[in-house]
Amino acid sequence: MGDRIDIDFDQLPDDLKQLAKASEQAAIARIGDEIALLGLLRLLEELHSQIRDAWFQDSLPTNRQRLYALLRDIEISGGWPYIQRMRLHALLEQLELAEAEISDDMDDAEGNFSATE
């Protein structure tokens, strides 16, 4: 679902390792609860926006050399950080698949019921 950036977690500072682990644990604790997972995704998106708007933009380079270094790092390290939203179309496809499975299961159940009569 889009370009993924491979992060070398061994190279991260300890606080970011802890943040990544806590995020993963929060997601794992919510497996099977789509509303809770959606809430987690919304929280992460809000944090992403706050970091970008409040701190990152204020720290952008003010000279060409630093700007070039930043752009080079973005190019080499995998692009701009972006939280991609699930497309509505993909969500509807999942719904259609689930409905088809339910319909098939009901048809199978009805077939088994009439076969035992």
| Residue 111: band (very low, low, confident or very high) from pLDDT cuts 50, 70, 90 | low
| Helix spans in 12-87 (H) | 14-29, 34-50, 64-77
Average pLDDT over all residues of the chain:
82
**pLDDT higher for 93 or 40?**
40
Taking Cα atoms as reference points, which of 33, 47, 38 lies closest to residue 85? 38
Domain ranges of the chain: 1-85, 86-117
Q: Is 23 exposed, middle or buried (0-12, 13-18, 19+ CB in 10 A)?
A: middle
Taking only the tens place, the pLDDT of each residue in 15-47 is 999 999 999 999 999 999 999 999 999 999 999
pLDDT of residue 105: 73
Chain centroid to CA 80: 15
Helices 14-29 and 34-50 cross at an angle (nearest 10°) of: 150
Chain centroid to CA 58: 26
**pLDDT higher for 91 or 45?**
45
pLDDT tops 90 at residue 63: no
Region 66-72 average pLDDT:
88
Give the number of other CB atoms < 10 A from CB of residue 110. 10
